[in-house]
Amino acid sequence: MSFTARKTTSILATTAVALLLLTGCAGGQSKVEACTILTGGLQPLGTAITDAAGDLTTDPEGASADMSAAAEAFEVEVKKITNEEVKPPSDAAAASVTAFADAVATVAADPETADFTVVSDTAADVQTKVTALGTVCS
């Protein structure tokens, strides 16, 4: 092997290792990385849930549309999670948020006969699941 070939191989190997370290692929996604991703998704989600609960009686269709969009946006963030410790509670939180969005949509479809206890029950489940996720990320 010539000096140039060895030098090129060495440079390529060093570059590959550096890229792996920069992208987080060397050891997988860290807990801190996963939780940082979720923090960005949880802040707007909290606002959406509060707004949906407040708007449910005055603007049920708007509350439903906003909550569905927030649930979808949170799901996008959750799909980015690969950390083995953070993935299960983030999936559970996303499922509970989707259930809450579905409950809000049911109320919006027929506010006159809707069962609002389903909304409060699913909201409580969101609180439980997000709290469990927060415990893992703390």
Q: What is the pLDDT of residues 65-111, one digit of tens each?
A: 999 999 999 999 999 999 999 999 999 999 999 999 999 999 999 98
Phi then psi for 112, rounded to 5 degrees? -70, -35
Structural fold of domain 28-137? Four Helix Bundle (Hemerythrin (Met), subunit A) (1.20.120)
Look at residue 92 in the predicted model and tell me its pLDDT.
97
Phi then psi for 97, rounded to 5 degrees? -65, -40
Model confidence at 2: pLDDT above 80: no
Distance CA 30, CA 47 (A): 27
Nearest to 41 by CA among 78, 82, 81, 92: 78
Domain positions in the chain are 28-137
What tokens does 106 get? 């049911």
Model confidence at 10: pLDDT above 50: no
Look at residue 27 in the predicted model and tell me its pLDDT.
56
